[in-house]
A and B are shown apart, each in its own frame.
Chain A
Amino acid sequence: MNDRDFLLLMLAMGAVTYLPRMIPLVILSQRKLPVWFAEWLELIPPAILSALIAPTLFAHSTPRVFTLGKIELLAALPTLLCAYKTRSLAGTVIIGMVCYWGLGLVM
């Protein structure tokens, strides 16, 4: 990707992140979103995060094949537990990295 394409991509990313932050503030200052839409939006963050993680844990990338044997999946178990118990972002990231690194040495 050359510099011009990179800048165009960043401008497009900037627009799609800025507009959802700005438009409701400027336009909807008194009106409310339809309830069903607000409820749908509320479910989007867990859905997206889960959709992003799952293939990393359960599938090889080239070629795309289902598997239950990836180090990523094994390391995810203590990482999940740590996130659930401590609710600490930094702690969870460190535990995940250490487990992934350790399992990589053993396996």
Chain B
Amino acid sequence: MRQNIRQGLAAAWPICLGYFPIGLSLGVLAQKGGLAPWQMAVMSILVFAGGSQFIAVAMLGAGASPVAIVSTVFMVNLRHLLMSSALSVHFPNASRRILALFAYGITDESFAVNLTRFNQGGWSQYSALTLNHAANTTWIVSTVIGVYVGQLVPPGAAGVDYALTGMFICLLIYQLRGPIFTITALIAAVGSVLAYLWLPGNAYVIISSCLAATVALILKRTMRERGEQA
């Protein structure tokens, strides 16, 4: 058991190192958006989803309705459905308690590392659990520290207002793993600007992303069928 935990920690450190500055910047933004340290802690403990938390902080700051925030967060995290499904084959005999604990820590990063290690072999469920919770603890601590740091940073200093946009741009680039993903992103961009101009509130995110994914999926399937016939 101790060996498994040590293995998990050894694999977790790059994730923790990556989370720390992102957590700090989320905390700084949250402080600018009016959140107190305890509110940041509650959010990181209950939600633990970097992208969603950035969006939630931005939407809270913009005075979005709770329904819009919750539905956007839900859509943003729907991808974990896929990751959780992919990981499930590696937990054949696990108790529900282990599964419930493990599920809490599934993120893009922990998923990528755990899946790779499971496929390599010699990776136990306890190592995976340790990795998830090491990353999780780092995240919670760094976001709360960020709120305190934020109080020292004047508003608008050194382009901090652009940190969020910068992060989303980089995360978007990570997602463009082929032409169909780029097409999806372009449709979503056009759709969301149009929906933003024509519709009130924050519905533009959900409407345009569902539309873009659906159109791109139809396109992909049509091209595949044509390809098979040719």
Contacts and interface: CB of A to CB of B under 8 A. Distances in A.
Interface of A: 1, 5-14, 16-18, 20-26, 28-30, 32-33, 36, 38-59, 64-66, 72, 75-76, 79-80, 83-84, 87-90, 92-102, 104
Nearest to A36: B217
- The size bracket of the interface on B is 35 or more
A93 B22 CA distance: 10
Query: Is chain B's interface secondary structure helix, strand, loop, or mixed overall?
Result: helix
B104 interface: yes
A45 B222 CA distance: 21
B193 interface: yes
B12 interface: no
Interface in B190-211: 190-193, 196-197, 204-205, 208-210
Contacts of B158: 97-98, 101
Contacts of B91: 25, 29
Interface string B1-36: 000000000000000001001100100000000000
A91 B228 CA distance: 43
B172 A50 contact: yes
